[in-house]
Amino acid sequence: MSDAAQPTAAEVRAAAEAVKTALDRHLAAVERRTGDDDTAVYEAFNDLAAAAEAYDEILYDRYDEVTPFEIPGADGALPPYAGPDEPHAVSLLIRRDYAVAEPQRLLAQARRVAALDGDEAAARAAARAGLSPLAALGVLFNEYEPDEIASRHKDFGLEEGDSTLWVTAAEELPEPGEWLNAPFDQADPERIVCRFDVSSVFDEDDEPEPEPVVVRGAES
């Protein structure tokens, strides 16, 4: 960047003051919050994120320095909202990744579950589950609800990866069976009302942080 195009020291100072103002407004909104879904808090969060990003950019342009902080879920993390203003239905889209960290534990747990039924078919299932990780996964996910597997994943020899939950808005509830053949074809980011993300990229010093939440403000 040429010297003529560089921001001035006064512009950098103004951007820094904008961060301070946004920080004060965010704190005030948090102190006055009326509940977990207080729109004013989310708007103040987005304003603070935008001010911090602008300051970071102009500081780098002028002084070749960066700020030591980053705010997940800043403006631009979600595309512009294109869903209904008054949704009459919502869809929950969930993805959870697991690594098969201990195959022998997985096989043993699946064999135990299959053997509890006690009939000939269960015995065959137990035999397959004791030899094939694919069969073992089928036995476990057929027996347990996904939330129970999430809470007990270590018992089944699994290791958590990233996970996300999207809450998307809809005009109306689909007809029964309408999307079962292709349940994720209509996963539209522009209809996201809020999303909940968990990833190791949010961890600090190997200690898990609270689950990050991205929620649209009223401006969406």
- Per-residue pLDDT reduced to its tens digit, 134-145: 888 988 898 899
Please give the average pLDDT of every successive group of 10 residues along the chain, which has 220 residues.
72 94 92 81 86 90 83 57 88 94 90 72 61 84 91 94 91 91 87 86 55 51
Residue 92's pLDDT is 92
Torsion angle of C-alpha atoms 92, 95, 96, 100, degrees rounded to 10: 140
**The pLDDT value given to residue 123:** 59
Q: At 17, list the tokens.
A: 């003051």
Residue of 199, 168, 206, 192 whose CA lies nearest to 72:
199
pTM: 0.56
Q: What is the pLDDT of residue 117?
A: 63
Looking at residue 99, its pLDDT comes to 96
pLDDT value of position 196: 86
- Long-range contact set of residues 143-147: C-beta below 8 Å, sequence gap at least 24: 143/113, 146/94, 146/96
